[in-house]
Amino acid sequence: MKKEKIFFVNDYATVAHPNLLKALSEANFNNEMGYGDDDYCQEAINLIKKECGNDDVDVFFLMGGTQTNMIVLNSILRSYQGVISAQTGHIATHETGAIERGGHKVLTIEANEEGKLNAKQIEDCCNDYNNDVNSLHIVQPGCVYISHPTESGALYTKDELIEINEVCKKEGLLLYVDGARLGYALASIKNNITLKDLTFLTDVFYIGGTKCGAMLGEALVINNKELTPYIRYSMKPCGGLLAKGMILGIQFKELFTNNLYVEICKKADDMAQRIANTFEECGYTMFTKSYTNQQFVIIDNESLKKFDELYDFAMWMRIDDEHSIVRVCTSWSTSEQMISSLINDIKRFRLN
C-alpha cells in the first residue's frame, strides 16, 4: 500500500480543535434557541467584545467566509457601487464571482507581491473616478476590501491601516477587513494590529474560525452601527445564518477562552517559520517573506518531484518551465513529527 502523503495543502483539512469538539459533545443534548439567540452565542459575543475593547460593537456568527463577504458587501454597497480590492484578493480570485453575482463589481488594483494595497492606490482609484467626465456611466467605488493577512501571508502594519482608514474617510468609502486567517495575523511575531485597532479603524471585519481551529464559522464584527440593520437582515437570504447557531457560539466561546484562538495559531506560525528558515538555509528562494502560517517557496521541477512523493503542497503558480511556487501551509493540527519530517527532507533532497 502506498504511504499516505504528509499534508501541508491548507489550514482547514481537519475537523476542529479537541477543546471545541469536547465542548460541542458536552452541549449535545441541551435545548437552545436557534439562529444565534442562545446563551452560548451571547457568552461568545461578550468574550469577543472584551477582546475588542468595545462593548458597542455588534457581533454576528455566520457559516463561512464567502457567505460573510457576500452578506457584508451586498448589504453595504449601493446598486451602482463596487468594491476596491487587490487583484489577488480572495473576492477577486477564489469566490467564483460571488460578489458579482450580487450585482457589485470588484474593482481590482495591481498590488505588490505581498498582495497589499496602500492608501495612495486607493486615493488614485477614487481620483480617476471623480475626474472622469464619464463617471456617470462608471461603477462608483463604495468600499475598500483588504485581508489581514493577505492571500500571500503578508501583514498590514498599524500605520498602513491608519493611512487606509484616513483615505477611506476622506473619499467617503467604507473599510472592510476579511479576517479568514486573522488568528495567524494576531499571533505573528511581526504583527502590531490588535482586535481593538480593527474595531476602531474599520467599519466592519470578521474573525475567522473555519481556518483557525473551528469546525466552521466566522464572527462578524460591525463597528459602524449604521450598517448593522442592512447586514443583519441580509444574513438569512444570503445563506449565512445557521439555524443551529449554538454550534458557532460554542466554538467561539472556546476559542476566546484562555487565549486559545491566538495560542493555536501561534503554534502554526512558529512551525511555518521553521519550515521557511530551513528552505532558505538550503538555498531555496521564498516568493514572499511571510511571518504567518502560509509559506510560499520557489522550487525547481526536479526537487518538486521528490517532495511530491511524500508531501502534499498547494501548487500556487508556475514561474517558468523549470520552476514553480508552492504554498506550504500549517495549522493547529500540524504535528511536530510532520514538521521534523519535512525539515529533514528539505535538507536531504538538497544534499542529494
| Run of H or E including 175 | strand 174-178
In order of their start, the domains of the chain are 6-12+261-351 (3.90.1150.10), 18-257 (3.40.640.10)
pLDDT at 351: 66
For cell 511581526, name the residue.
190
Three-state DSSP at 71 gives helix
Rounded distance, CA 135 to CA 284, Å?
Answer: 47
Look up the pTM and report it: 0.96
Distances in Å between the alpha carbon of 163 and those of 55, 203, 301? 25, 14, 41
Query: DSSP readout, 289-306?
Result: ---SSEEEEEEEHHHHHH
Would you write out the chain's pLDDT as a tens digit for each of its 352 residues? 456 899 999 999 999 999 999 999 999 999 999 999 999 999 999 999 999 999 999 999 999 999 999 999 999 999 999 999 999 999 999 999 999 999 999 999 999 889 999 999 999 999 999 999 999 999 999 999 999 999 999 999 999 999 999 999 999 999 999 999 999 999 999 999 999 999 999 999 999 999 999 999 999 999 999 999 999 999 999 999 999 999 999 999 999 999 999 999 999 999 999 999 999 999 999 999 999 999 999 999 999 999 999 999 999 999 999 999 999 999 999 999 999 999 999 999 886 6
pLDDT at 4: 87
The alpha helices in the chain, defined as continuous H runs, are 18-26, 39-52, 65-76, 90-93, 98-101, 119-130, 158-171, 182-186, 195-201, 228-232, 246-255, 260-281, 301-310, 336-351
Q: Which residues pair with 312 in a beta bridge?
A: 7
Q: How far is CA 33 from the centre of its chain?
A: 29
The pLDDT tens digits of the residues spanning 35-53 come to: 999 999 999 999 999 999 9
Distances in Å between the alpha carbon of 177 and those of 34, 131, 345, 348? 27, 27, 37, 41
pLDDT at 164: 98
DSSP class of 166: H
pLDDT at 1: 46
